[in-house]
Amino acid sequence: MSVEVSDRLSLVTKKIIALTRSSNSKTINIVAVSKRQPVEKILSAIKCGHRVFGENRVDEAKKKWLGLLDTYSDVTLHMIGSLQSNKVKEAVALFDVIQTVDRMSLARKISIETHIQKKKLKCFVQVNTGKESQKSGVLPEDAIAFVQTCRHNLGLDVMGLMCIPPVSDNPALHFAFLRELAVQAKVRHLSMGMSSDFETAIGLGATYIRLGNFIFGDRVDP
């Protein structure tokens, strides 16, 4: 199992090097998505030197990571799933980065909680680039003002934008669109690209890619 994870991480690293060798690309950060993955596989990645992980649910993350973080305090943990308001206190305590700030009410609660906990938390604003009614995210036309409010009114450290393109669309169109929004919003980082399209995302400016199955293999059924 450990050999498999190490091989997959090595393959991703080689792909990134090949994709960025001839360009002036920024550093690409791999968020290893450990959603519904056993601790054994997570430990395999950690022992390979990987230190950036992502989880979708607060409760699952607490069960797996509270013990691990005591031992591996240099791990950076990203919240990449939809965050419920009643989970904000726990999320702020556990995570280093919340990538799914998608509404003003949530941003306000995160701001309040970071002050209470005196936590230096980083955030991404999730943009619903496809304007899908069933998907979370700030609408593109509201994104710039949303970022400014989060930064200047709420004091949040907004480091970038994040998106999940519609399954039926060409992801490149959404990645390019998010890149332009990031320039206008004056943010440095783009979290875009998953196991099936991360190479396209890197070519269009991604600085964070979210890889689950590509690194860990199939998820365990809940």
Q: What's the pLDDT score for residue 2?
A: 47
Closest CA to 166 of 150, 177, 157: 177
Decide if 162 is inside a domain.
yes
Decide if 138 is inside a domain.
yes
Mean pLDDT of 107-118: 98
Q: Characterise 49 by phi-psi region: left (phi > 0), alpha (psi -120 to 50), beta (else).
A: left
Decide if 120 is inside a domain.
yes
- Name, in order, each residue with C-beta under 8 angstroms of 208's C-beta and a sequence gap of 6 or more: 28, 29, 31, 99, 160, 162, 189, 190, 191, 192
Mean pLDDT of 144-166: 98
Mean pLDDT of 63-91: 97
Task: Find the CATH number of the domain harbouring 145.
Answer: 3.20.20.10
Spatial separation of the C-alpha atoms in residues 55 and 167, rounded to whole Å: 21
Mean pLDDT of 92-119: 98
pLDDT band at 221 (very low <50, low <70, confident <90, very high): low
Decide if 221 is inside a domain.
no
Decide if 8 is inside a domain.
yes
Q: What's the pLDDT score for residue 222?
A: 58
Q: What is the mean pLDDT of the chain?
A: 95
Mean pLDDT of 88-99: 99
Only one residue has tokens 């669309």, namely 169
Number of structural domains found in the chain: 1
DSSP letter string over 30-90? EEEE-TT--HHHHHHHHHTT--EEEES-HHHHHHHHHHHHHH-TT-EEEE-S---GGGHHH
Full residue range of the structural domain in which residue 157 is found? 2-216
Spatial separation of the C-alpha atoms in residues 98 and 121, rounded to whole Å: 8
Decide if 193 is inside a domain.
yes
Q: What's the pLDDT score for residue 14?
A: 93
Q: What's the pLDDT score for residue 219?
A: 84
Decide if 50 is inside a domain.
yes
Length of the chain (residues): 222
